[in-house]
A and B are shown apart, each in its own frame.
Chain A
Amino acid sequence: MKKLVAPLLLAASLGAWAQSAEIANPDPKVEARLKSIAHELRCLVCQNQTIADSEAPLAVDLRQQTRKMIAEGKSDDEIRAYMVDRYGDFVLYKPPFNAVTAVLWAGPALLVIGAIATMFVFLRRRREAAAATPAPDARRRKEIEALLAAEDDARK
């Protein structure tokens, strides 16, 4: 176990080291804000990583750019707008609601509504069908009771 954990710890600490070595004197406040923004931005080189996680040169540049904009006193929205202006909505992990993304956002809700509606229709039909089942006539009833009585006898 120890043999396994040690390299993992080393790898983790190296990762942390790589991040902090990116600039000489990281300001914890700036780094915290950078982290919160960069986690919402997609790195376009390695598309399933955020700009915060990626070590691609472009991600490093964009982190640097974000730091600069934070230092200039830009708001989170301004920084996001800067990225979207250059890389499009795709850069946001949380895409805005617009004509193109309407299906994306509304789709799941529509599916749930559709499923609930279908369920209600199905249940009502079943209830109606049950209500509509004619009561067994006298002869049939006798047969049923005889069968049930035989069952009870068998159990005794």
Chain B
Amino acid sequence: MKALKYIVPLAIFAILCVFLAVGLTKDPRKVPSPFIGKPAPAFSLARLHEPAATFSPEDMKGKVWLLNVWASWCVSCRVEHPVLNDMNRRGLVPIVGLNYKDQRADATKWLAQHGNPYTLSVWDFDGKVGIDYGVYGAPETFVIDKQGVIRYKHIGPISPQDLETILLPLLAKLNA
């Protein structure tokens, strides 16, 4: 009975430690997206390279595709870009770029410089479509299935490991 006096606080402390330890492993920057399992919000935006032509997610119905949010001012996008180029070379999946809050000239120059892995990019100058997709930083990548439903959102740059362990299995599943 006497021992209980020491065991109870110790047990409470241990439980607290477990909670704090779990908390440490979580990245507070990765906010769960409310869009998973929901249809991709509709939009119609001018394309980056052909301002006269538009694109809307409807155009991709029947295909599994990625919507990648990028900008020429975005430092992490440079980190991610080789992975996107590699995906494009391997012909893994069509990638549509959402050029977010960027100048058209800066964006096209940036792609000319770093390579253009995108099937096409759309130009979201005022970030309105970004808000509709709950974008709060770049890069962010949405995986959208054949029915136009968002299945996954990747926050931050896609690393080569992310590609192998998360994206490729998911794409294989969605394309099956």
Contacts and interface: CB of A to CB of B under 8 A. Distances in A.
B34 A44 contact: no
Contacts, number: 36
Residue from A45, A57, A85, A86 with most neighbouring chain B CB atoms (10 Å): A86
Contact of B31 (A44, A65, A85): A44
A44 B29 CA distance: 8
A70 interface: no
Contacts of B31: 44, 87-88, 90
A88 B33 contact: yes
Given A45-B136, A45-B137, A47-B28, A61 B131 contact: yes
Interface string A50-89: 0000000110011001000000000000000000111111
Give the bracket for the number of chain B residues in contact with chain A: 10 to 19
Interface in B116-153: 126-127, 131-134, 136-137
Give the dominant DSSP class at B's interface.
loop
Contacts of A45: 136-137
Contacts of B91: none
Residue from B28, B31, B132, B137 with most neighbouring chain A CB atoms (10 Å): B31
B169 to A, nearest CB: 25
Given A44-B31, A57-B101, A86 B134 contact: yes
Contact of B34 (A47, A61, A65, A86): A86
A67 to B, nearest CB: 13
Residue from B28, B29, B101, B134 with most neighbouring chain A CB atoms (10 Å): B134
Given A88-B34, A90-B32, A62 B137 contact: no
A62 B131 contact: yes
Contacts of A57: 101, 127
A53 B137 CA distance: 18
A45 to B, nearest CB: 6
Q: Which 3 A-B pairs rank lowest in CB-CB distance, beginning with the nearest?
A: A44-B136, A86-B134, A88-B34
Interface of A: 44-45, 47, 57-58, 61-62, 65, 84-90
